[in-house]
Amino acid sequence: MSGGYGVVFENFPQHADLLAASGITPDHARARGYIPVDTKVRLEGIGVTKAGRNVPGLLIPQLRKDGSTWGY
């Protein structure tokens, strides 16, 4: 059921299914910057602690009022 979530979720249908089951539309996921991750290196690069580098996972940014990211 990954339809509508686009190329970003093409290889991660389980994440697209999870978002759809949670009522999160493809437009909302794109607008909020949701990204599937499958390497611990990527998580390390953005400062996720070693204990939190579980993959595969769904990276969900925490946004300020102005839309800038302050964490994950």
pLDDT tens for residues 39-61? Answer: 999 999 989 999 999 999 888 99
Contact 12, 59 (CB under 8 A): no
Model pTM? 0.72
- Average pLDDT of the chain? 86
Task: Work out the average pLDDT over 17-43.
Answer: 89
SS3 41: helix
Mean pLDDT across 25-43: 89
Q: Tokens standing for 23?
A: 């009522």
* Residue 16 in this model has a pLDDT that exceeds 50: yes
What's the mean pLDDT in 60-68?
A: 92
pLDDT of residue 54: 92
